[in-house]
Structure 1
């Protein structure tokens, strides 16, 4: 593969100074890395980054996330949870869709039922599997009944995949497409006489989707106020292109960043070999290479205990020094070579991004020290290793364990799968916590999933965006960028 060359030149000093200037009284310009923003149906599959940003802007759900990733009212103006945790009752605010029609409780019920239907491909469907029923008890009241308590339900309902797109969405912003750019304006306010007031210029936005290199270039030139959708793959572009490091805002994102061992040859079927591959990786060096000093290496699937009966499980080798890990891994591979002959090449499926090149280089070097050869293949090709880079939609142990469970649909670890199934149907907190702990330990023992750390998510934000906040959900709503009254 040819060496990576920066796609954008470093800006001249004068251009960098121009980008530092404060812009007031003009629309906020936002670029999202990836495809053009469209209001898509999440029940047909995962939303691309720009589609998720647009959905959160123009078609909120029952609840939403604020600038810090906390839950705030949206279509529901308030709600209560029964003492047993099995019933969530929401009262809707008066809301009108972009087509001028009111959004009713029945509209929201249809949306929720579609998301959890058996035919749905919504990425949150499995997380919402404990929903037993959704019903409209009055034109303004909705009740969601659960089979078992699920405390993170509000976090799931706040995701853009649960946006109510019926009637074109009810805001908080309205969209109009023009020349490949989405123009966003806040819902109109009225004066004392009931006449609509024009929005202040800096309450309006311009939204587009584009390549990372182009988005970063526009930001450095001062043409863009905010760049969203950055991950480990394109962080090197931002680091090279942005002269002021404080403009690169890295989220303390919760989720999983690791390697799923998908190879089905005898070499990868050996759990000792899988553990050797995991031991050999210098996570500190790897995570700094792909994520900079803000990256967070880890060896545990669960970032914290959540509601498990035990602390997050870690491999037995976690307490060894990196040198001792490498020595143990080398002995395991040497033993295999003595019994079975030369190990096969390790095919790693990776996207064509500079960050993936850095990731591959670190993995290849650490495994070469064991006498193993790594080969980079495209994401859609047959591979032995696949990268998992996923944000957690909610602080849920079940999400983490399920995400790490199956290297392939037909090869889920049975012990972990059984324990996770028990956690889903447990009728007491104690039984649920014990099942979660057993599933966590079983996954560590099986060693099909190699944890590298937590996901790398970044944005570029000018100082004009006084309400922008880094947060664990890595979510930055467009209606929470500039303080009211500015």
Structure 2
């Protein structure tokens, strides 16, 4: 008995020595988004993406201006025909001290592309193969010219994992507590509560991270997050309510930041069934909405009304294209011409205050022109079951793009043959589909821009979705944190951040 007590005491002392950082030294980030997996190819959920960016280094990284820079790859070359890229690895190690080799890179990228459980293979769909030429050299062969290849090799699911770790311990053990290649490793994960990170002692960037670690704390209620931030229980928070921006910014120990995003709020219309299989009814639903008024009501004037089906922050966004006009009389005419029979349509929304507010605004403006809707509230999991299954009529929502390049956005939102059925609306225009393939193969920026302009023109006029507004990220920070920002691609600059308390 005494012997066991001594053993237990020694174990506790060892645990304390191995994790000496006090919670007060961690940067505490409050977010409404949950962490459900630490495997970078198994999820595209926001909370997981934020964690992936801290745990896994990529071949390339973005600097504070958004420009792609060397990451695990110290240099690279691209063949004249644009079909082969060769990357040279720098000397780097995983968190357990083992070298990061070309075999690990080939394993990681191939897993993201071809593993049957990979949820986002589209980022690397143009890649034919990834091979290790020698321990420090990777060759990437493309099926065709692919303009955004460098951007896509910086996306979260291109994070490099240890082949030996994944295969040796198995995917479940790896996902719960992975060997990492990024600036941090897992100190503790409490599902449905928080993810605690500590510095990776073998991170390749010497002198980074500049802090002792972080806690990603899951706080669903936005008002609770604000209260915790004001009370000093958080050092940063995601998604300050628009109505509270002024009060948070006025707090002497806080600063409010409206950071650029690639987010677009829009409304999905199910084109697999009446009435939205008729273009005139879709156009009627769009012309019935006073988008500038909705934007102001939802964001207190902090977002810009959307003018096309693509986010404004993307390269080649067609800022000169006119937005869909607010014209109730035209909406009524189009409803009649489209054969709308007065049936009450189901508007499917997630059960949260912002979604309910938006749905109520939409419902009132549609009712004014005779388009009848009923609001059905479900939890987010059910929403993501029913929308892909086509079990809805209308569904206000939002999405964002992982890079500034528009290819992934087009494939997600308006391409009918690219895997998502135009974000599950089943919008399918042969010209848009063909332009999508032309644009991704075009390396001349001016010519690419013209192709994406045409995609936006067609998909907006045909109301592939109803564009609503382009919001920034509304994040807040304690003055004690310096250097912490959130990029448009949901990546925290955490390794750059300094905490002074």
If the length of structure 1 is used for normalisation, what is the TM-score? 0.78
1:60-459 to structure 2, matched below 5 A, reads 60-117=57-114, 119-123=116-120, 125-166=121-162, 167=165, 168-177=179-188, 181-188=194-201, 202-213=211-222, 214-228=224-238, 230=239, 235=241, 242=248, 244=250, 247-303=255-311, 311=318, 314=321, 318=324, 322=326, 325-335=327-337, 340=339, 342-377=341-376, 378=378, 379=383, 380-381=385-386, 382-405=391-414, 406=422, 408=424, 412-424=428-440, 436-459=452-475
Tell me if structure 2 keeps the 8 A contact 1:184–1:206. yes
Specify the SS of the correspondent of 1:293: coil
Tell me if structure 1 keeps the 8 A contact 2:308–2:318. no
Specify the SS of the correspondent of 1:479: helix
How many residue pairs match? The answer is 440
Determine the C-alpha separation between the residues in 1 that align with 2:218 and 2:332. 46
Determine the C-alpha separation between the residues in 1 that align with 2:400 and 2:208. 37
Specify the SS of the correspondent of 2:357: helix
Determine the C-alpha separation between the residues in 2 that align with 1:299 and 1:181. 38
Tell me if structure 1 keeps the 8 A contact 2:183–2:208. no
Specify the SS of the correspondent of 1:126: helix
Deviation at 1:242, TM superposition (A): 4.1
Deviation at 1:436, TM superposition (A): 4.3
Determine the C-alpha separation between the residues in 2 that align with 1:130 and 1:41. 19
Determine the C-alpha separation between the residues in 1 that align with 2:98 and 2:226. 39
Specify the SS of the correspondent of 1:416: helix
In 2 relative to 1, CA 171–270 (structure 1 residues): closer, same or farther, beyond 3 Å? closer
In 2 relative to 1, CA 86–454 (structure 1 residues): closer, same or farther, beyond 3 Å? farther
In 2 relative to 1, CA 243–393 (structure 1 residues): closer, same or farther, beyond 3 Å? closer
CA RMSD of aligned residues (A): 3.7
CA-to-aligned-CA distance 1:152-171 (integer Å, 9 cap, x gap): 32322222222123241123
Deviates more, 1:101-110 or 1:368-377: 368-377
CA-to-aligned-CA distance 1:439-483 (integer Å, 9 cap, x gap): 444323432211112255332211222213464434323212228
Determine the C-alpha separation between the residues in 2 that align with 1:391 and 1:113. 25
If the length of structure 2 is used for normalisation, what is the TM-score? 0.76
Tell me if structure 2 keeps the 8 A contact 1:109–1:136. yes
Determine the C-alpha separation between the residues in 1 that align with 2:274 and 2:90. 59
Gapped regions of structure 1 (runs ≥ 5): 1-23, 191-195
Tell me if structure 2 keeps the 8 A contact 1:258–1:388. yes
Specify the SS of the correspondent of 1:350: strand
Specify the SS of the correspondent of 2:29: strand
Determine the C-alpha separation between the residues in 2 that align with 1:197 and 1:301. 42
Tell me if structure 1 keeps the 8 A contact 2:318–2:456. no
Tell me if structure 1 keeps the 8 A contact 2:412–2:423. no
Specify the SS of the correspondent of 1:294: coil
Tell me if structure 2 keeps the 8 A contact 1:262–1:407. no
